[in-house]
């Protein structure tokens, strides 16, 4: 059964908050595709980094219901307010933390996050554009669109539980094979859950799980990129 998109009609009332767009909807589609897997790992703690409008966390709450404790973070005060409004409108019980990345959650959630979601600022921009806390911070990624991501990546092994999974939105300019290699060195496997072209952007949803939690026999280090055919 198709999971309805959360009500976000109010988001346009919040200045400097990123409205749901193609990357958001691709992430929702990917999470819906992963519903059986997510139910199978029975997340106890779910964290979305950079919640913006709050639509993604509200959607996940429709998938998992009251079986998990939900947190989301954002460093934009207006985004935190908007997320709270989205959760109220959609009757989602999500805790909003006003912080940069996951600073406000560590060390309390060390190695206890079962589901981690990040639709990062991935657009290639000058480095100084990533320093703001307004709408620019929602998309400005600095060199290769990776400066914010690379900071976050180092925190993932500390956050995720043994069975934990990370879903990450990237574009080709972010050099996803480099990301895959980085995570492999930290003990993670990578899958491409879904891809989609949106104008000049080729969007991908990457899924990372710990090698120790997988029963895979093929760990030869093949490229993370899919064949290039769009899927939905």
For the segment 153-172, the average pLDDT, to the nearest whole number, is 98
* Structure confidence by residue, pLDDT tens digits, 12-22: 999 899 999 99
More confidently predicted of 216 and 50: 50
10 Å CB burial of residue 144 (0-12, 13-18, 19+) is middle
CATH number of residue 183's parent domain: 3.40.50.150
Residue 169 phi/psi, 5-degree rounding, is -95, 130
Whether a cis peptide bond, with omega within 30° of 0, leads into 123 is no
- Residue 14 domain flag: no
Give the pLDDT band of residue 220 (cuts 50, 70, 90): very low
Q: How many residues does the chain have?
A: 232
Are 149 and 166 contacting, i.e. CB atoms less than 8 angstroms apart? no
Helix (H, G, I), strand (E, B) or coil at 208: strand
Helix (H, G, I), strand (E, B) or coil at 219: coil
Are 34 and 205 contacting, i.e. CB atoms less than 8 angstroms apart? no
- First-to-last C-alpha distance (Å) of the chain: 16
Domain span at 132: 19-213
- Residue 223 domain flag: no
- Residue 140 domain flag: yes
Residue 215 pLDDT > 70, yes or no?
A: no
Domain count for the chain: 1
What would you report as the CA-atom Rg of the chain, rounded to the nearest whole angstrom?
Answer: 16
* Structure confidence by residue, pLDDT tens digits, 99-133: 999 999 999 999 999 999 999 999 999 999 998 77
- Residue 148 domain flag: yes
Cα separation, 8 vs 11, whole angstroms = 6
* Structure confidence by residue, pLDDT tens digits, 27-59: 999 999 999 999 999 999 999 999 999 999 999
- Residue 146 domain flag: yes
Are 152 and 101 contacting, i.e. CB atoms less than 8 angstroms apart? yes
- Residue 158 domain flag: yes
Cα separation, 8 vs 83, whole angstroms = 10
């Amino acid at each position: 059964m198709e999971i309805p998109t959360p009500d976000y009609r109010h988001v346009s009332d919040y200045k400097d908050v990123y409205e749901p767009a193609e990357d958001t909807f691709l992430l929702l589609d990917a999470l819906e595709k992963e519903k059986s897997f997510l139910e199978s790992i029975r997340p106890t703690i779910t964290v979305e980094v950079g919640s913006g409008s709050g639509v993604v966390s509200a959607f996940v709450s429709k998938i998992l219901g009251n079986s998990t404790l939900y947190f989301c973070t954002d460093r934009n005060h207006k985004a935190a307010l908007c997320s709270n409004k989205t959760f109220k409108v959609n009757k989602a019980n999500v805790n909003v933390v006003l912080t940069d990345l996951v600073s406000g959650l560590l060390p309390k959630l060390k190695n206890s996050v079962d589901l981690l979601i990040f639709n990062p600022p991935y657009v290639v921009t000058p480095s100084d554009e990533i320093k703001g806390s307004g709408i620019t911070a929602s998309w400005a990624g600095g060199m290769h669109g990776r400066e914010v991501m690379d900071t976050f990546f180092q925190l993932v092994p500390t956050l995720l539980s043994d069975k934990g999974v990370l879903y990450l939105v990237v574009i080709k300019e972010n050099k996803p094979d480099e990301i895959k290699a980085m995570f492999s060195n930290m003990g993670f496997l990578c899958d491409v859950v879904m891809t989609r072209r949106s104008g000049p952007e080729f969007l991908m949803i990457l899924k990372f799980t710990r090698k120790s939690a997988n029963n895979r026999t093929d760990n030869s280090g093949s490229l993370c990129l899919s064949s290039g055919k769009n899927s939905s």
